[in-house]
Amino acid sequence: MVFGPIPNREYHEGFMRKAIEMAELALSSDETPVGCVFVHDGEVIGRGINGTNASLNGTRHAEFVALAEIMAKHPPSILKDTDLYVTVEPCIMCASALRQFGIRAVYFGCLNDRFGGCGGVMTVHSDPGVDPPYPVYGGLFREEAIMLLRKFYVQENNKAPDPKPKKNRELKTEILPITTPNVATPGGGTPSLELNKPILEKAAVAAKAQITQMK
Amino acid sequence: MVHLKTKEECRLGNETIRVYTVELPSKHAEGILKVIKENIEGQDVIDLQHLRRFAKPKYLPPHWSLPVRKRTEGRPPTLYLLVCPANLISLKDVHDLLLQHPPFCSSADSWAYPLEIKEITVPMLAPTSPEQAAEWSELYWPTFYRKTNPFGAHPSSISKAESELQEPATDNIALPDMMKLAEEAGTATEKLGYGIRTGCVIVERVDDKTEIIAVAGDARLKPLPSETREDASCTSGNVMSHAVMRAVGMIGRKRLRVASSTQARDAFFLDLPLTPLEQQYFERDNLKPDGYLCLKLEIFLTHEPCMMCSMALVHSRVGRVIFEHRMSRTGGLTAEMVRNDTGPVGLGYGLCWRKELNWQFMCWEYTAAEYALREKEKEKARVLNGNDTEGPDEDHPEQNTTTATTICTSNAITGSHDDVNANLGMPSFTSIHV
């Protein structure tokens, strides 16, 4: 239950507020607005914002920036008693890193439907694997997390090899209710949403496109 | 070097479907086809363009054991028609339908043989190589290869990449040397007690010329400033310092140095060189300026990367990945979940080619050719046996066998690293994230 009820919600909202503040900082520094804090014994021990543009490194997500700060001061084992608060669901890469570190729990704002690793696209946090799984709780300040991302994506990305003009894009403010996220990808299987797609039809279209390309 | 199957290829590539076929004189072929097209609904739903609609008896699989008939017997030349998928219409209905039309109707005199509809198994999806088409033609029904692959990289891109990698132009480093360099990078950090002997080499290819732009070994065990002796026993160590993460980080740092005046923020990432070997390649300003992340770069690895590193490669937009050892319990790139051609069965994520992610890249396993060949022979034997015995399992020949035999062989070939029979969580090298 990624979006199940969160016990003691107000306590967790306090830390998610700090994560949102980090995301706002990211937005003002031209980075994808994702922010996070790691909390150990009620104390923030690491904070991070997405840094992919500044570092020219596509793996420099907020979680990694914060983890690097933590590693400088604490042994990796501290993460076993540490919770993560992040505005957007951790991606597949971060979800795996967190699991290998043995994070205690992850709280997030909105789902990441492009490459989420905790229910959005895959369920790396709970799939069968050699490391123990960890619980995830989504939906804390979800609307704010989404609006931050939308504000960013109406901007143009001049660093991309082929920047898309986005002059005509408008900032939408309507937030749709949560759709049921994928619950599990046992053994790395394809999430349920893909199973419903007419695969053959899709395959035929792809094949035709390839033939056309060759001509 | 064997190209990895994608998730969809694994899931769908071996699927079969039951269809009806019928033998008929050539001169009635078009007429009967018209009858079928007009009277059997739903034929457009399943794309069987990869199968011949009409097949001459001599092109049918040898195991059909068709009687050799001579023209002198006065029998007109015949063709076999693939009527339609068997799930569209019952055998009785298709029988009744054909009986109403020449040459099968009673009034026709040109055909002296009874109407005999045969239900057979054919591959449901298009083959992804000419070899596969030839194989399927021999096993099931004459099959076309149309030079497309809806489930992965285009076959021509794969063969172009393979020839560039395996037959390097003059001055370019050969593939075995690249793999050796990756190993040396891992050995170098391991010797210092920093890592677990896994390594990564990143190469840029510009106008057919290759340049090694980053070399990194694993550094998860490098003592952290914070660590006391007792903490150092943490097995996963500093997860962020896997070889792939370090090499990708080096590329970012190098780009900053080469392409702009911006200083890299020195957060605590272990992506600065730690060994003379790493330093040697890091200090050269040999990458194309204004590049983007690791767009289309080539990655050479000692081991199949873990989920974190696999996704890091997706985020970094890499072009080609070649790894040596499959990591069946932690690897993120292989897609097979039931059985596979090149090594032990893994977790099945297949991150190198997932349609739901925003980037795909080609990926090869370096040491698997012999295994692949052996598996192919087995598959062939399996299907042939399956077709001889009429049974409910005939549709899925590959499911008849358990994975047990597959696993034994794979152990012999991939060597000491892979103890696939062990359970998840056993403390062996395969349970380490690389």
- pLDDT tens-digit profile, chain A (215 residues): 678 889 999 999 999 999 999 999 999 999 999 999 999 999 999 999 999 998 999 999 999 999 999 998 999 999 999 999 999 999 999 999 999 999 999 999 999 999 999 999 999 999 999 999 999 999 999 999 999 999 998 876 666 667 676 667 777 778 777 765 544 444 444 333 333 334 444 444 555 555 555 54
Residue in chain B lying closest to A208 (CA): B148
Under an 8 A CB cutoff, do B226 and A207 touch? no
| Backbone CA torsion sign across A168, A174, A180, A184 | positive
Q: Could you tell me the pLDDT band of residue B424, with boundaries at 50, 70 and 90?
A: very low
Name the minimum distance, in Å, from the CA of B307 to any CA of chain A: 6
The partner residues of B85 in beta bridges, in order of sequence, read B19
Classify each residue of B168-198 as buried b or exposed e, where b means 16 or more C-beta atoms within 10 Å of its C-beta. Answer: beeebbebeebbbbbbbbbbbbbeeebbbbb
Rounded (10°) angle between helices B404-414 and B369-388: 160
First to last CA, chain A: 49
Sequence-distant (6+) residues with CB within 8 A of B96 are none
Name the minimum distance, in Å, from the CA of A26 to any CA of chain B: 15
| Least confident window among B15-29, B101-115, B297-311 | B101-115
Cβ-contact B50, A200 below 8 angstroms: no
| Least confident window among B72-81, B161-170, B177-186, B335-344 | B335-344
Name the minimum distance, in Å, from the CA of A192 to any CA of chain B: 12
What is the pLDDT at residue B115? 86
Output B297 or B69, whichever has higher pLDDT. Answer: B297
What is the pLDDT at residue B371? 56
What is the pLDDT at residue B408? 31
What is the pLDDT at residue B71? 56
Q: Domain-by-domain residue ranges, chain A?
A: 9-154
Sequence-distant (6+) residues with CB within 8 A of B276 are B188
Sequence-distant (6+) residues with CB within 8 A of B116 are B22, B23
Determine if the pTM surpasses 0.80: no
CATH class of this structure's domain B155-366+404-432: alpha beta
Q: Domain-by-domain residue ranges, chain B?
A: 17-139, 155-366+404-432
Residue in chain A lying closest to B124 (CA): A200
Distances (CA, A) of B97 to B30, B32, B38, B179, B334: 15, 10, 11, 62, 47
The partner residues of B143 in beta bridges, in order of sequence, read B51
Q: Could you tell me the pLDDT band of residue B282, with boundaries at 50, 70 and 90?
A: very high
As a whole number, mean pLDDT of residues B133-162 equals 89
Cβ-contact B292, B315 below 8 angstroms: no
Fold classified for B17-139: Alpha-Beta Plaits (3.30.70)
What is the pLDDT at residue A45? 97
Q: Could you tell me the pLDDT band of residue B427, with boundaries at 50, 70 and 90?
A: very low
Residue in chain A lying closest to B426 (CA): A130
Pick the CATH number of A9-154 from 3.40.50.410, 3.40.140.10, 3.40.630.30, 3.40.1390.30: 3.40.140.10
Which stretches of chain A are DSSP H helices? 9-28, 52-55, 62-73, 92-101, 142-153, 192-195, 199-214
Output B28 or B218, whichever has higher pLDDT. Answer: B218
* pLDDT at residue B246 greater than cutoff 90: yes
* CA distance linking residue B123 with residue A44, whole number of Å: 57
Q: By the CB < 8 Å criterion, does B316 face chain A? A: yes
Distances (CA, A) of B164 to B1, B148, B167, B257: 13, 20, 6, 29
Is omega for the bond preceding B103 within 30 degrees of 0, making it cis?
yes
| A63 in catalytic set | yes
Selected residues 167-206 of chain A with any CB under 8 Å from a CB in chain B: 187-191, 194, 199-200, 202-206
What is the pLDDT at residue A203? 47
What is the pLDDT at residue A144? 95
| Least confident window among B68-72, B331-335, B408-412 | B408-412
The candidate with the shortest Cα–Cα distance to B24, out of B70, B65, B72, B83, is: B83
As a whole number, mean pLDDT of residues B173-179 equals 90
Q: Could you tell me the pLDDT band of residue B268, with boundaries at 50, 70 and 90?
A: low
The distance of Cα B410 from the centroid of its chain, to the nearest Å, equals: 17
